[in-house]
Amino acid sequence: MSFNENLDLFVIGGGSGGVRAARVAAEHGARVAIAEQSRFGGTCVIRGCVPKKLLVYAGRFKDEFESSRAFGWNFEAATFDWKTFRAKSDAEIARLERAYRSTLEKSGVEIFDDRALVETPNTIRLVNADRCITAKQILVATGSRPALANFPGCEHLLTSDDVFSFEKVPERLLFVGGGYIAVEFASIFAHLGTKTTIAYRAPRLLRGFDLDISDHIETQFKDRGIDLVAAATISSIEQMETGGFRVVLTNSEVLEEDAVVSATGRLPNTSHLGLEEVGVKLDFAGAILVNREHRTSIPSIFAVGDVVNRANLTPVAIRAGHALSDKLFGNIEVCGAAGPIPTAVFTTPEVGTVGLSEEAARQTYENVRIFRSEFTPMKASFAAKRSRTLMKLVVDGLSDKVLGVHVVGVDAGEIIQMASVALTMGATKADFDRTVAVHPTASEELVTMRRELAQATE
């Protein structure tokens, strides 16, 4: 077993947060190495945000083709070829991984395609190479993995990671879970022609989101033909002679599906890394406990990204990794995410949200004002089945500060990015009101809402 000369930083995990931290540290002049046992890019690039968004685009063309006829276009029936899509998607993911590697190499980061374990507070062991490397600082950025339930037949469960490897588009799919992963994939495959069902333990979809968003998405999903089974999860799965699966739910309902995808959350990747053995403290879910500077209970070991199980979003991990390396090696004090964190759910219709939900605001603020609008966007004017857009502002009635913005509709993710700038700057409802609208657009509704909803009485 050989020992490498002492590095300034060793990063375990080649996802977005780890790669950004490694690159920035190297650009500050630090001697940096990074280890990744799979593919660079992490969950987002390899099996998450990027391939999922490509699938979203593929599914939405169905509606585009259908609605174009109302605008005067005529063409033969459109068909979708899954193998063509997969080949294109796989090629794009491979290109992005090469770009991640190239960026690291150009920055002077040493790359190890190996599994890395923490041996001591300043030593990393590369398992396959059977080699130890010392570093002044260690950053753990190993991300997360899908959580799986335990019941009879659970070995038949697939996860969201497996969806991208389907040989063909399934005719029948059951998604288990009511969070954003389940609803995104259910929406995608419903648009690709799959008979789609969602079973979820909670009483409604998208728990934690504003209730108006949940209600709106449920209505749109039912109109699309997606079957929703609330307050139920899987009791057992049995494979049938036909190759499909007989699924018994906890409400005694029996379903026959071609595949069952579990999307009931994710767990931090901290197992078998040697963390607890060297004294790194974890919480009950296995997440690494860190302070505001992302330092663990061991002063030389840091952690960023999903492995700390806070705001599990790629931009948050990137900012944290960047800020950490700026502080450690550039003597630059940079705060992490400033203001409320915006997020999007890439269902169809799309969800964009930033700030507090109405329910959360009412728990904290004495006087909450609500402005809400639901309308048919212009693009859907000719459609036989018109989709509806929802927009909502949550306002502190005492300070007039906008506490939350919620959008369900076309390009909601794009709209909410700009709304998050306003909330980060502390915009008031009066600021929104005096902003000139861009007409005709859907987003102009955010600055033209004047009628406040009457508060519900007990």
Task: Print burial letters for 276-294: b (CB count within 10 Å at least 16), e (below 16).
Answer: eebebebeeebbbebeeeb
Which of 254, 82, 46, 60 is closest to 160 using CA atoms? 46
d(CA 11, CA 111): 10
d(CA 393, CA 256): 42
Tokens of 167: 């040989």
Handedness of CA 446, 447, 450, 452 (dihedral sign): positive
- Helix H segments across 28-140? 42-47, 49-70, 82-107
The active-site residue out of 272, 322, 406, 439 is: 439
Q: Helix (H, G, I), strand (E, B), or coil: what is residue 203?
A: coil
The residues near 363 (Cβ < 8 Å, ≥ 6 apart) are: none
Instruction: Report the Cα 184 to chain-centroid distance in Å.
Output: 10
Tokens of 386: 């018109």
Tokens of 82: 């899954």
Q: Helix (H, G, I), strand (E, B), or coil: what is residue 265?
A: coil
Q: Helix (H, G, I), strand (E, B), or coil: what is residue 180?
A: helix
- Helix H segments across 142-281? 160-163, 180-191, 211-224
Which residue shows structure tokens 């269902």? 347
- Helix H segments across 134-292? 160-163, 180-191, 211-224
Q: Do you know the residue count of the chain?
A: 458
d(CA 334, CA 331): 9
Report whether 179 contacts 217 (CB < 8 A).
no
- List, in sequence order, every residue forming a beta bridge with 389; answer none if it has no partner: 375
Q: What is each CA distance from 280 to 45, 105, 119, 246, in whole angstroms?
A: 28, 30, 12, 43
Is position 406 annotated as part of the catalytic site?
no
Report whether 386 contacts 402 (CB < 8 A).
no
Catalytic positions: 439
